[in-house]
Amino acid sequence: DVKVTQSSRYLVKRTGEKVFLECVQDMDHENMFWYRQDPGLGLRLIYFSYDVKMKEKGDIPEGYSVSREKKERFSLILESASTNQTSMYLCASSPSSRGPGYTFGSGTRLTVV
């Protein structure tokens, strides 16, 4: 029944490492999103994609990049991880029509040491 899958539930990485967070959806959705979730700050949009090979910056894109080579997969890349990127990362998808909203993944808790 799982529709949006994030490959890792917990990750621990070192400062300066290149980090890949993977997200796969099986609902044939056009739109995919990456948010980070921090206590007291809510969900903040990092990047989103409305089609294969298309990407748009969200509200906090600095230090991140994304890749969408296939419709079902949306990857978040931390080019050089820093301690202030320690957070919960949520992936979501939605159809292109303005329907009921997002389907979220279970999240990846990333700790950068």
Partner 1 sequence: AQRVTQPEKLLSVFKGAPVELKCNYSYSGSPELFWYVQYSRQRLQLLLRHISRESIKGFTADLNKGETSFHLKKPFAQEEDSAMYYCALRVTGGGNKLTFGTGTQLKVEL
- Rounded to whole angstroms, the Cα distance separating 37 from 6 reads 15
Q: Please, what is the minimum distance in Å from the beta carbon of residue 76 to partner 1?
A: 16
110 binds partner 1 (CB under 8 A): no
Q: Please, what is the minimum distance in Å from the beta carbon of residue 59 to partner 1?
A: 8
Q: Please, what is the minimum distance in Å from the beta carbon of residue 17 to partner 1?
A: 26
Show contacts with partner 1 in window 21-50 (CB under 8 A): 31, 33, 35, 40-45, 48, 50
109 binds partner 1 (CB under 8 A): no
In the chain, the largest separation of any two C-alpha atoms, in whole Å, equals: 41
Among 34, 46, 105, 110, binds partner 1 (CB under 8 A): 105
- Rounded to whole angstroms, the Cα distance separating 112 from 110 reads 6
DSSP string, 49-96: ESSTT--EE-S--TTEEEEEEETTEEEEEESS--GGG-EEEEEEEE-S
- Build a one-symbol-per-residue string for 51-70: x at contacts with partner 1 by CB under 8 A, - elsewhere: -------x------------
